[in-house]
Amino acid sequence: MTDIIDRLKSSIEQDKADSALLAEALQEIVELRKRRDALEEILIVLARTELPWDEDGKETDALPHFKERYLNAVHEASEMLGLEMRSMITRTEPKT
C-alpha cells in the first residue's frame, strides 16, 4: 500500500496521473475493502459468540460451541492478515 500511496503523491505533485496508476490504485482499494468486510464479519462472529462461563467462572454447555466459533474465527483472521508470512507489521517481535 505504501508504494501506491507514494506513487500517487508523486503523480499529484507532478500534476500528471496516468490511467495505469489510477487503475492499480483502484484495484488495491477494492481488495482492501473486501478484506475489511471479511475481517468485520469475523469480528461480528466473535462479538456474538456467547462466553462459555457463568458468573462464578464455571464452564457452561456453551464451551464446545464457543471453542469451535472462536478457533474458526481466529484461523480465518490469521489467514486474512497473512500471519504465516512476514509483513511490515508481523516481522518485528515485541521486546520482552
The tens-digit pLDDT sequence of the chain (96 residues) is: 668 888 888 888 888 878 888 888 889 999 999 999 999 999 998 888 888 888 888 998 888 888 888 899 988 888 888 777 655 555 555 554
Grid coordinates representing 84 are 504465516
pTM greater than 0.75: no
Coil, strand or helix at 59: strand
Q: What is the pLDDT of residue 34?
A: 93
Q: What is the pLDDT of residue 88?
A: 56
The residue extents of the domains of the chain are 2-81
